[in-house]
Chains A and B, each alone.
Chain A
Amino acid sequence: MIKLLAKRSSSAILVLLGVTIIVFFLVQLVPGDPARAILGNGATDQAVQSLRQQLGLNDPLVAQYMHYLGGLLTGDLGNSVNLGKPVADVIVPRLGNTLILTVAALVISVGLGVPLGLIAARYQYSIFDRLAMALSLAGASLPVYWAALAAIAVFSLALNWFPTGGMYNARMPGGTPDLLNHLILPATIAALVPLAVIARLTRSVVIDTLNQDYIRVLRASGVSEKSILWKHAGRNVLPPVVGIVGLQVGYLLGGVIFVEVVFHWPGLGQQLYTSITAHDLPIIQAGILFIALMFVVINLLTDLAVAFLDPRGEVAS
């Protein structure tokens, strides 16, 4: 287990290093001069040049990258070009808001997806199974931004059940109940695709497990269907289902960007969206890096959890 931890952690660090390189050079490819973006179109060439000098934009790329990496290691993410604040001060609270949304969406997708898949597998080819699988196929195929707009049109504008966006009521913020009220719609929309994928994959994993030889032996021994489904099948589908859920968390982190933009959720995704339009490179870099970091950490945790849950204590590597 410790050996596995060391092996996976070191590869995770390598992946993150790779991400910093890609993020750094990708941003170089974005058209537009950040110095000019800051100073506006009326600025003289001389002013732009001196700002470029000041921001280090005239240094060779490798030197810029080393400088950037050094900053990262000391916790200095640089300053936002537009907001005039340290990037960390902008990103960290946004990150917290994104996590609230992600966790809520995860709870919904796991809480509904896993039982849905289990029941569909238990009653394979029943009406419930076919209906659940057809709906989840539809759910997995809907573009998130379209579903979000449709949900606002129906549940906020027509039925007036939920607010159209934001995180708190701006006029009279109401604490946790107010937060939940604002959370339900975006979290549900963000959960749609992972929920569908989790339900479908759980179903196939459970069906596969229920066809195993040992399930037949248990049936032949008179063990009850309840124990077979919940104890024996349940325990054996745990490692693959945890693996599936782990992968979906990564997908969710990407998916919430759309949801945040449509619902004006003050999270990392929305910040990234505004920063990209404003050419605010340090924030874009930090945002992508944080998303990658979460992705890598979640994958690492998933791998460890799956290894821990495997009765043989082995990992298919």
Chain B
Amino acid sequence: MTDMLLEIKNLKTHFHTDGGIVKAVDGVDLEIPRGGILGVVGESGSGKSVTGLSVMGLLGSRRARNAGGQILFKGRDLLTFNDRQLQKLRGSEIGMVFQGALSGLDPSFSVGSQLMEVIRRHQKVNATQARKIAMESLELVAMPDPERKIRSLPHELSGGQRQRVLIAMALSCNPELLIADEPTTALDATVQKQIVDLLVDINRARGTAILMVTHDFGVVARMCRTVAVMRYGKVVEKGTVQEVLENPQHPYTQALMNAVPRLHLTAAERAVPRPERRLFELTKNLPATPVQREEAYAPL
């Protein structure tokens, strides 16, 4: 037995649709050590989110089928768990944060009431103690003015604050693993950075391992130690962040990294709109005045 917290072995999750079988996840191997952070990157439809949902047993749809493999969490295969066991596991041992923070909280109940429901579901505490734990989790995620926010309804909070509440909720019972499925997607750039920094802080302070599903290499570079690149339900490249980002081996990884918009461009690069920039890469050493460029493109 290794000291891995989570080991996904040859996982296959298929969806049986009217148009045939969709192999959303098709033989994926991933592992996260205790306290580690693994980034899973890939484009939409690469199977990265379905991998996260498979671990949680949250595929929900009648069409989803497990077609093989193992998900070993602390040595136990989660695929053999029944609904009741999974329900107990979710929120207490594995927490999950989704994208779409704006609609992630029940609009009819206060922040505190939702936090306390989750806390009391997993811990034998009375209402006063649950409230205290809820306050502590809000403080953990650096929520401004938690005393007042705990009584707020979700629509009274900003998007970043709502995501903080959702992270607090996922962490309130001190899980060993946090699955973060594009937690920064719907947020402003500055708030995105705050949330990423927050997750890193939590990882350092509490040793919570994180499975970070994202399509953003910037996020991966900022917080992850290891990274796996997924495409068409398979892992195409895996390694430490340094190895993969500095020297991507697989052509898909290279293409994916080329697709990242860059902030610092040369004057010549900036003159070209983004869709044409890759084309421009090919002609980089050619003169860049408009007329000359037109000539340079002509043979292409």
- B-contacting residues of A (Cβ < 8 Å)? 125, 212-214, 216-224, 227, 232, 235-236, 311-312
> What residue in chain A is nearest B122 (Cβ atoms)?
A222
Q: Could you say which residues of chain A place their CB within 8 Å of the CB of B114?
A: 218
Interface residues of B in 97-125 (CB under 8 A from A): 98, 100, 103-109, 114, 117-118, 121-122
Q: B100 near A213 (CB under 8 angstroms)?
A: yes
Which of B38-46, B82-90, B244-252 contacts its partner? B82-90
CA distance A220 to B95 in the complex (A): 7
Q: B90 near A214 (CB under 8 angstroms)?
A: no
CA distance A220 to B105 in the complex (A): 12
Q: A221 near B108 (CB under 8 angstroms)?
A: no
Q: When the two chains form the complex, which single residue of A216, A222, A236, A311 contacts B91, counting CB atoms closer than 8 Å?
A: A222
CA distance A236 to B114 in the complex (A): 14
> What residue in chain A is nearest B100 (Cβ atoms)?
A213
CA distance A244 to B88 in the complex (A): 37
Q: B121 near A219 (CB under 8 angstroms)?
A: no
Q: Could you say which residues of chain B place their CB within 8 Å of the CB of A222?
A: 87-92, 118, 121-122
Q: Could you say which residues of chain A place their CB within 8 Å of the CB of B88?
A: 222
Q: B121 near A213 (CB under 8 angstroms)?
A: no
Interface-centre pick from A220, A222, A236 (highest chain B CB count, 10 A): A220
> What residue in chain B is nearest A311 (Cβ atoms)?
B108
Whether A213 touches B62, Cβ cut-off 8 Å, given contacts A222-B90, A232-B106, is no
Q: B56 near A220 (CB under 8 angstroms)?
A: yes
Q: Could you say which residues of chain A place their CB within 8 Å of the CB of B95?
A: 220-221
Q: B98 near A220 (CB under 8 angstroms)?
A: yes
Q: B118 near A235 (CB under 8 angstroms)?
A: no
Q: Could you say which residues of chain A place their CB within 8 Å of the CB of B153?
A: 311-312
CA distance A217 to B109 in the complex (A): 14
Q: A217 near B92 (CB under 8 angstroms)?
A: no
3 closest A-B pairs (Cβ-Cβ)?
A222-B91, A221-B91, A222-B90
Q: B105 near A217 (CB under 8 angstroms)?
A: yes
> Is B58 an interface position by the 8 A CB rule?
yes
Whether A212 touches B103, Cβ cut-off 8 Å, given contacts A221-B170, A222-B90, A235-B108, is yes
Whether A220 touches B58, Cβ cut-off 8 Å, given contacts A213-B98, A311-B155, is yes
Q: Could you say which residues of chain A place their CB within 8 Å of the CB of B98?
A: 213, 216-217, 220
A–B pairs, 16, beta carbons within 8 Å: A214-B105, A217-B105, A218-B118, A219-B60, A219-B90, A220-B91, A220-B96, A220-B170, A221-B95, A222-B90, A222-B122, A223-B117, A223-B121, A232-B109, A235-B109, A311-B153
CA distance A222 to B96 in the complex (A): 10
CA distance A213 to B181 in the complex (A): 13
A258: min CB distance to chain B, Å: 39
The count of A-to-B residue pairs whose CB atoms sit within 8 angstroms is 73
Q: A236 near B106 (CB under 8 angstroms)?
A: yes
CA distance A160 to B155 in the complex (A): 58
> What residue in chain B is nearest A211 (Cβ atoms)?
B60
Interface residues of B in 46-89 (CB under 8 A from A): 56, 58, 60, 62, 87-89
Q: A217 near B169 (CB under 8 angstroms)?
A: yes
A268: min CB distance to chain B, Å: 39
CA distance A125 to B91 in the complex (A): 29
Q: B117 near A236 (CB under 8 angstroms)?
A: no
Q: Could you say which residues of chain A place their CB within 8 Å of the CB of B104?
A: 213-214, 217
CA distance A219 to B166 in the complex (A): 13
Q: Could you say which residues of chain B place their CB within 8 Å of the CB of A212?
A: 103
Q: Could you say which residues of chain B place their CB within 8 Å of the CB of A213?
A: 98, 100, 103-104
CA distance A104 to B75 in the complex (A): 60
B7: min CB distance to chain A, Å: 21
Q: When the two chains form the complex, which single residue of B90, B100, B103, B107 contacts A220, counting CB atoms closer than 8 Å?
A: B90
Q: B91 near A223 (CB under 8 angstroms)?
A: yes
Q: When the two chains form the complex, which single residue of A216, A219, A221, A236 contacts B107, counting CB atoms closer than 8 Å?
A: A236
> What residue in chain B is nearest A209 (Cβ atoms)?
B106
Whether A236 touches B108, Cβ cut-off 8 Å, given contacts A220-B58, A221-B121, is yes
B166: min CB distance to chain A, Å: 6
> What residue in chain A is nearest B117 (Cβ atoms)?
A223
4 further A-B contacts with Cβ under 8 Å, apart from A218-B106, A222-B92, are A219-B60, A220-B90, A221-B170, A312-B155
> What residue in chain B is nearest A220 (Cβ atoms)?
B96
CA distance A213 to B56 in the complex (A): 15
Q: B170 near A214 (CB under 8 angstroms)?
A: no
Q: Could you say which residues of chain A place their CB within 8 Å of the CB of B169?
A: 217, 221
B159: min CB distance to chain A, Å: 13
Q: Could you say which residues of chain A place their CB within 8 Å of the CB of B91?
A: 220-223
Contact with A along B146-189 (1 / 0, CB 8 A): 00000001010000000000100110000000000000000000
CA distance A238 to B114 in the complex (A): 18
Interface-centre pick from A212, A216, A224, A312 (highest chain B CB count, 10 A): A216
A180: min CB distance to chain B, Å: 37
> What residue in chain B is nearest A224 (Cβ atoms)?
B87
A63: min CB distance to chain B, Å: 55
Q: Could you say which residues of chain A place their CB within 8 Å of the CB of B106?
A: 214, 218, 232, 235-236
CA distance A216 to B96 in the complex (A): 10
Whether A219 touches B109, Cβ cut-off 8 Å, given contacts A213-B103, A214-B104, A224-B121, is no
